[in-house]
Amino acid sequence: MARAAPFPIALLLCLALACGADAARKTVGVYKLKNKKGDFSIKVTNWGATLMSVIVPDSKGNLADVVLGYDTLAEYVDGSSAFGTVVGRVANRIANGSFVLDGKTIHLNKDGTAVLHGGHRGFNRVIWTVKEYVPSGDSPYITLYYRSFDGEQGFPGDLDVYVTYQLSSPYHLSARMNATALNKATPVNLANHAYWNVGGHGSGDVLGQVIQVLASRYTPVDRSMIPTGEVAPVSGTPYDLRAPTPLGSRVRLVSGAGMAGFDINYAVDGWYGDGGLRKVAAVRDPASWRALELWADQPGVQLYTSNWLSGMKGKGGAVYGQYGAVCLETQGFPDAVNHPNFPSQIVRPGQVYRHHMVFKFSF
């Protein structure tokens, strides 16, 4: 498929990237996908393979953008938030920024005591290449590509990474992530870091929304947000969201990094590593009756309730505050490279990592 021109505009940026003294001159654009009916669309940028907007109707046909984000590309490039980005090479945390692989200790480029989301220049801070772009039709899609080089942020081996966003009927958004290790074994754990508010990105907090997470177990963490290695039952704890539960009834009963709210990985029920999609979570907004179901093929999902979001200027003049969204990041377990009892994230040369998720909207 030939590459089409970006919609609606491409911005030429000269960015000094962390790969030497030379600046790389590449095109960063915004690309729109839209269904035939015209009431379901997304925007994507190849900066960080970022999902910039998702517009869907509610029960009365009113359209709203249900992901938090910025108005301009420059804000995504300069911003501190990971709104809608693809994070990797390894999402979530790696304790002490190191792990042992095939008898060799790998030291990563860390900030503080751990590495978060692949390091300070992870996949969310690089320019991806647009490989295919079909903006409309029955199943519009865009495929993005990034070559991660041997030693990038300390990770071993070259890695070819592809992400495809696609719309399908009736109101489904899928994201497919593939990564092939080319010459060395390496951990891979990609995630999409969209901030969801199914009431609309500027509608306020999500405490009145109802959430369900289909997980009977979770991975407790220490004060540094590193998993202890235990996979514990949620039964009898505030983390039990197996039945639909108003977020506001639980959000102040749990905490992450000293802040009230959810920031925890769940072990998804029914995961067997067979690549099959399973229902992971659901969120419903009682005001609009707009709902989201998440289906995926990964062993874990990180629930984060935007605990640290505060006074951030977003799209259309909106100001995002604490609990302004939920992140539902399907993933491998955090710090799996340091916990042999967790599902392995090691991909060896010639092997392909696969991650498929589907966001199903209804109203």
Do residues 278 and 225 lie in contact, with contact meaning Cβ atoms separated by under 8 Å? Answer: no
Q: Would the annotation count 176 as a binding residue?
A: no
From the candidates 329, 339, 355, 356, give the one annotated as an active-site residue.
Answer: 329
Q: Would the annotation count 194 as a binding residue?
A: yes
Residue 325 to residue 316: CA distance in whole angstroms: 16
DSSP assignment string, 245-289: EEGGGTTTT-EETTEES-EEEEE-TT--SS---EEEEEEE-TTT-
Q: Identify which of 304, 300, 303, 302 has the alpha carbon closest to the alpha carbon of residue 343.
A: 300
- Is 172 an active-site residue? no
Residue 68 to residue 357: CA distance in whole angstroms: 19
Do residues 84 and 192 lie in contact, with contact meaning Cβ atoms separated by under 8 Å? Answer: yes
Q: Would the annotation count 193 as a binding residue?
A: yes
From the candidates 117, 193, 201, 339, give the one annotated as an active-site residue.
Answer: 193
- Is 117 an active-site residue? no
Q: Would the annotation count 201 as a binding residue?
A: no
Q: Would the annotation count 338 as a binding residue?
A: no
Residue 196 to residue 201: CA distance in whole angstroms: 7
Question: Half-sphere exposure of 70 toward its Cβ, with a 13 Å CA cutoff?
Answer: 18
Buried b (16+ CB within 10 A) or exposed e, 62-93: eebbbbbbbeebeebbebebbbbbbbbbbbbb
Alpha helices in the chain (DSSP H): 73-78
Q: Would the annotation count 263 as a binding residue?
A: yes
User: Which segments are annotated as binding site for beta-D-galactose?
Assistant: 92-93, 193-195, 263
Active site residues: 193, 329
Annotated binding residues, as ranges?
A: 92-93, 193-195, 263
